Copies of this chain bind each other. A is one copy, B any other.
Amino acid sequence: MIRVNTKTHPYNVLFGHSFIREAFTSLQDVTRTADRIFVLTDENVWAAQGERFTAAFPLAFDVFVLPGGEACKSFEQYNACQTFLLEQRATRKSLIIAFGGGAVGDLSGFVAATYMRGIPFIQVPTTILAHDSAVGGKTAINHPLGKNMIGAFYQPQAVVYDIAFLETLPEQEIRSGMTEVIKHALISDEAWLRQLLDRSIYDYSAEELSHHLQRGTQVKADIVAEDETEQSVRKYLNLGHTYGHAIEAASGYGNLSHGESVMIGLVYCLLLSERYGEITRDDTLAVYNYAVSQRYPFDAVAKFDFDTLLGYMQKDKKAEYGELQFVLLRKIGEPFVQKMDVAECRAIDEALRQLISEGSQ
């Protein structure tokens, strides 16, 4: 169990295996005051895990099934959830359970944040990626002009992380989620990073995976406790995300996964970090070669020119005052924030393309 101490309220992230019943029984303080419980999920998760969830969940609930993937984070689906809750006569005392991956969690959290100006919710993530997104209270929906542009900081009452749901994840989802684990290692601990780069992401036992996820969650919890609304250190969690989001957006959401795109962004940031700190080309290559060996799709970069990516980067939420802002590493485990000009971004983009065209080394 990991405690997340935020200003609004502290809450626990519970880890376990096939323990939904046990977890929710332990959360009676939250569930007891709920007049109704509404599970928001998506069609893929519900088809694969709905029966297991329903059999294990110890309380009565109603369910609203959203379209799968990033599609649920649209304005239309947000509105549909609000309509559902109003039709169901959900009150300020009703409890929302977000059951799914990062997209379901982001949307459900924003629905909870804004239904009648805020009702309680619990995250029940079903992906590796969600060890990152379910903790910390960032909720959002997408706008045609940018990802996660509309949202709120709104903390859950608890996060229930049942590793059993991860056992049937497709390869792309494993890649997507493990990027955030590697990111958490990059910004916190070189020894842990070396450990991760030593193993295939596809070979972890449930126990090993749980260990790394708890470690990643702890990194995130410590940062969020210090800076809930991203005024300072929380920015470190965006390592790889500026370039990554641009790749993700340019490729059209759902083609490249979030984490696949961010992995490309991590390598970009390592190349950039070589100019500003003690990061060496060997550090960069260690991550790049590993990522290639794990089938991260670096060939996607060639599909877009730099100016296209730049357009997306300039619309990034981190681009304050119209300037580009990147998280870089002084060395592994020591992130910092750096403003960049376009010329330097372009040069590093070229260096990345050259690295990719040379293949893994």
Chain A interface residues (CB < 8 Å from chain B): 35, 75, 79, 82-83, 86-87, 89, 91-93, 110, 113-118, 138-140, 143, 145-146, 149-153, 229, 314-315, 317, 319-322
| Integer count of this chain's copies in the complex | 2
Query: Which residues in B have their C-beta under 8 angstroms from that of A117?
Result: 138-140, 151-153, 229, 317
Pick 19 A–B contacts, CB within 8 A, sort by A.
Answer: A35-B321, A75-B75, A83-B145, A86-B146, A86-B315, A89-B315, A91-B319, A91-B320, A91-B321, A114-B114, A114-B150, A114-B151, A114-B152, A115-B150, A116-B151, A117-B138, A117-B152, A118-B152, A118-B229
Query: Which residues in B have their C-beta under 8 angstroms from that of A152?
Result: 113-114, 117-118, 152
Q: Secondary structure at chain A's binding surface: helix, strand, loop or mixed? A: mixed
Out of B86, B145, B151, name the residue touching A86 (CB < 8 Å): B145
A117 to B109, CA, bound (A): 12
Q: Is the CB of A145 within 8 A of B87?
A: yes
Smallest CB gap from A85: residue in B: B149
A35 to B323, CA, bound (A): 11
Nearest CB in chain B: distance from A317 CB, A: 5
Nearest CB in chain B: distance from A238 CB, A: 13
Assuming A86-B143, A86-B146, A91-B321, is B118 touching A153 (CB within 8 A)?
yes
Q: Is the CB of B86 within 8 A of A149?
A: yes
Nearest CB in chain B: distance from A49 CB, A: 29
Query: Which residues in B have their C-beta under 8 angstroms from that of A89?
Result: 314-315, 322
A317 to B143, CA, bound (A): 28
Nearest CB in chain B: distance from A143 CB, A: 6
